[in-house]
Structure 1
């Protein structure tokens, strides 16, 4: 759920399930204001047993459709030979009738052949819907699917951490010229989550990386729904730098990134 600081209007995302029925007190990372947040009325997330039961039901339905398709194909198998029958004899002049009655078996075969692809298509749609619904589990098993889901507007955050409120600026003091980058790290998972190093890259107007470095987060682990502020500083930044990309250092899992 989204909450807004009543003092400075900073916005944060919290897991409503962690607030409890009576809510809890939270503190703004920007102005340190403390206020009480009540949970919104959201339906409970399905348990692991419920998720597995629904998965088994979907797979059983797909297997039933496949069995029905096989049964239809086996039942109509003898009708296929009708297409090889001799052509009807030429119509006699003046009789007004064909020399042979039209066969309906060929039409039945064509209808059965059209039904099979339709049923297979329905089974494919059912499996695709299941894959989208369980996309987080799918990305954990096959990380290369993360880019596919992101391309269709369904990004998956397997790491359980989110970067936000990214700010960057140049400052000068007696020590020289510095690039300062700040931002928030929020744990959106339901369990304590380790925070990896944060990677900051400076890019030029064409998107080429001019300089990149890593900085350790203030804390190595966050509790569910907990937020912390990080700060990174680079001395003598590239003069042609135009944008800053902030992301978690690669560790084999899908992470989040922010630009400024």
Structure 2
């Protein structure tokens, strides 16, 4: 059988390490105790420095103004004048223009006033619609002033055109309508649009024109609901006595009825 190898125990190694640590500790304490006894030589600038001088021990008292050999002496410090107390003198007042004004003296900037909205002149619109009286016993029909939109309105307008031709005898009534419109436009003074509500800006009068163009009758058929507008329309009807055009000679009747709508906006 092979022989077992035996290993040396570690106890002697630990003993050596402990001895080394203790030795260093003793040496350090001895150096620390002897350190105050060592005093290096101080540098004397008057004796000069040797080539082997490398480090020197300086005390606070060594830092004084000392002139090294071979250097010019420092100039003497000038004598200080005795300190005197400053004499207070009254400051001259600043010019008035350099003194900033106070808040009460500073004028406030003028705030621009909001501009009032310009009053827009009232636009007046007069629409004329002839009243068709074909038969004395039939109800008069008012010709619409707006163009037809639906097919039913187109057919209705075609029938009214035939009825108008029969009622006027084929006479051209446009000059009479234009003269009436011009006279009412000059004689009607509507109120300001700001005085009349939006839904009360329409009024209607019916005029009856004679053979010579005189106004035989003028009465209101629709009130607007605004007193000022109705009064202006009635006043325009009362003032109109005659138009500049007479009825055509081919017109079969002695009077011509027109309904006029007055509108402002």
* TM > 0.5: no
Structure with greater proportional strand content? 1
Q: Which structure would you say has the larger RCO, counting Cα contacts within 8 Å and 6 or more residues apart?
A: 2
Q: TM-score, normalised by structure 1?
A: 0.20
Q: TM-score, normalised by structure 2?
A: 0.20
The structure number with the bigger radius of gyration is 2
